[in-house]
Structure 1
Amino acid sequence: MRAERAVIMGMTQDGRVRVLQASRSETGLDTPVAHWQSVTFAINGLPRTVQDMAVTPDARMAYVLSDANLYVVHLGKSSGYVREVVSVAKEGQAPVHLSLLSGANSVLISHADDTVSQWFDVLRDGQRSLTETRTFTLPDSPIVNVIPEYARKGFFALQQDGQLSAFYTTVKGAIFSEPVFAGDLPELLVIAPRANRLLAVSGHDWQLFDVDNRHPEIGIASLWQEIWYEGTQSQRMCGSPPRRTMNLNRN
């Protein structure tokens, strides 16, 4: 949602994906008065079974995950259409969840084989195409939740056995991975906007963690080797740099 535009996307009981889009305009010179107008429309070409969906903050794109496919949807002011359909399955392992990385130019998809893949648009022959660029491997346990940072290209991954891992997308390998939670997993896991606090909520119980992870982007690869960034054409992927460490302490 932006100040002048808001989008709500959902699915009806009969399996149709519909979008409500509201836009704001102002009238009056001396004392402007804000007026909101809304329009609803359906997105044709989407399947009736949807696992997950997300709308980018600029309200221009949406991503819909269904079975082994990711549907890339372009949103206009009064209509939308499916730009492309990409297979995101990995060796027969179905995708289970999608998240938007900071900036909404990258999609993170968690898979049943305990990996998270990163996808973003790559320009080839003048056409944008959603492309898998990186894969992050986690220990053997189903991924329960992926929590992107607000302002950086990092994310946390929580697994069913209580393992919590932290990644930065231009650094290969986890910068933190420890069994943080024992017993019941938190119902909600939230990272602070400055990425220096992590809040775990389970019912009426809250746990606050201090996070020391000030410069996760600095590594040998980012200094001396080519890195594949969003919005660029295909480049040679770098080798594995030394892993950086992150500290996590209960407050």
Structure 2
Amino acid sequence: MARSEQRVAVVTGAARGIGAATAVRLAAEGRAVAVLDLDEAACAGTVERVRAGGGTAFAVGADVSDTEAVTAAVARVADALGPPVVLVNNAGVLRDNLLFRMTDSDWDTVLGVHLRGAFLMARACQKHMVDAGFGRIVNLSSSSALGNRGQANYSAAKAGLQGFTKTLAIELGKFGITANAVAPGFIATDMTASTAARVGVGFDDFQAAAADRIPVRRVGRPEDVANAVAFFTGEDAGFVSGQVLYVAGGPLD
């Protein structure tokens, strides 16, 4: 597919985990992919995986919570690959703690990366989508949006992303742009491994305990989430917008 015919996708937090799996999957779908993460050098592995599969990838370093960094990053993508018309807001961090122990920095960091970051990236990319008359925005929420002990900051950010998604769907629909959210349950990533370490449980035991509570009797893989994102970003998903899809192996209470 020639560059002029390729849809360009930006995936944030794409150096590893869900973001990396999503970048690889979107490249397999024929997208040229901008692999964006805080540390540009850390994106090399994902870029290599995409290129090894015959795809096009470009590494970009940026702090998604910084307005100037986001503006510069999106401009770099447009210059290198073409106008970005697919955006996957996946970048995230954890600063888990109970409310009485949670610091201002814990709160601000998590809300800044997840919620402010999604806002800044969507605002920077939407003008390219409007000009193209086509756009796909997918925001990564979480089952923690329903509430989770020790995650007041993370839960608030992930719930906020659902409201943000629905509002984007209303505002941008007339321009051919859809906005949807994917809300993973337990996915085996470095982030969930860090949670296991924080509570003092071995990661294998942590996953086994989680699997026992999941109807399909296994924990999720990054590729499970990437599959859902691929659907929402596809050419055939133009009549699906403002939705939240839980990728959690079963219904949630």
Fold equivalence (TM over 0.5): no
Q: Which has the higher contact order (CA 8 A, sep 6+)?
A: 2
TM-score of the two chains, using structure 2 as the length reference: 0.29
TM-score by length of 1: 0.29
- Higher-Rg structure is 1
> Is the helix fraction higher in 1 or 2?
2
Query: Which structure has the highest strand share of the two?
Result: 1
